[in-house]
Amino acid sequence: MQSVSRLLIGLIILLFAAGHGNARALRIVSANGTLSEILVGLGLEKQIVGVDVTSTYPASLEKLPKIGHNRTIAAEGILALNPDVIIYTNQSMLSPAVVKQLSGSGKKLVEFKHDYSKEGAIRLIREVGTYFNANAQAEKMVKALQADLAKIPAPANPKKLLFIYARGTGTLMVSGTGTSLDKMFALAGHKNAVGGFTDFKPLTAESLIAANPDVLVLFSSGLESLEGMDGLLKVPGVANTSAGKNRRIVTMDGQFLTGFGPRLGKAAAELSQKVK
């Protein structure tokens, strides 16, 4: 009788171990750079089999197969990677058609809610950690993030900042209220030079001069697309602003500046330092 009991206990242990092993072997596709960064922080990098083009940190993610970006992501490219689970956020902008295709494929599709705030970043880390049974690692990331957030300096003289999204002179947009840039400016102790609209809208010389920002903020790749500082100053209206006259231009990596993930505190501190 005792030998039968030992056999049953052994089988239970083996089944538990097998189940635990399968969970760790999940093949994950991430359609969001912040989620990809969190997965790496949770120790799950080896399980990631595909990422979107915003998954640039850490640099090792850039070696993985790419599934596209926002509306260019196609379900076929994801399914070809044979994932067990596909994760994205409400900020990922996957088209409804792609979400429908993925939902109908039999693969696990998980959406996480992501708010552009300190609380939103912490909640996202914890929820991803809970989903992948990595709560202890998630708490370590949260603790590090909270320590970074506590170090963000309060500026002595808050400035008016204006973010310009540039992809050459043919695509120039400014960010309004509620965007990740708007929230980042506030977190760093500064204010958005424009308001009265949400999301992004095309830049015009008239609105630029009216806003008269103290500092212009661009993604590093955006300034490069304009051929640098001199190219930016040639954009109509820029040279007439305080920022243009004083050549106060700040550039940062796009994912770092707008990710609102584990590096949020570091990004806000760097922005604060550059605007100072």
* pLDDT number for residue 92: 87
65: tokens are: 């197969």
CATH number at residue 61: 3.40.50.1980
* pLDDT number for residue 10: 44
Of 126, 150, 174, at which residue does a domain stop?
150
Residue 207 covered by a domain: yes
Q: Domain range holding 100? A: 28-150
Residues 269 and 245 in one domain: yes
* pLDDT number for residue 24: 52
* pLDDT number for residue 235: 95
* pLDDT number for residue 13: 42
* pLDDT number for residue 276: 87
105 phi and psi angles, rounded to 5 deg: -85, -15
Of 150, 183, 206, at which residue does a domain stop?
150
Residues 204 and 107 in one domain: no
* pLDDT number for residue 20: 45
d(CA 233, CA 240): 9
Residue 20 covered by a domain: no
* pLDDT number for residue 72: 87
**Taking Cα atoms as reference points, which of 225, 102, 74 lies closest to residue 164?**
225
Classify residue 35 as left (phi > 0), alpha (psi -120 to 50) or beta.
Answer: alpha
Q: Where are the beta strands (DSSP E) in the chain?
A: 28-30, 48-51, 85-89, 108-112, 160-166, 172-175, 191-192, 200-202, 215-219, 249-252
User: What residue type is assigned to position 184 of the chain?
Assistant: M
pLDDT mean for each 10 residues of the chain (276 residues): 47 44 74 98 97 96 93 93 97 91 95 97 98 97 98 94 95 95 97 94 94 97 96 96 97 97 98 94
Residues 220 and 118 in one domain: no
Residue listed under structure tokens 């399980």? 47
Residue 11 covered by a domain: no
Structural domain total, the chain: 2
222: tokens are: 């955006």
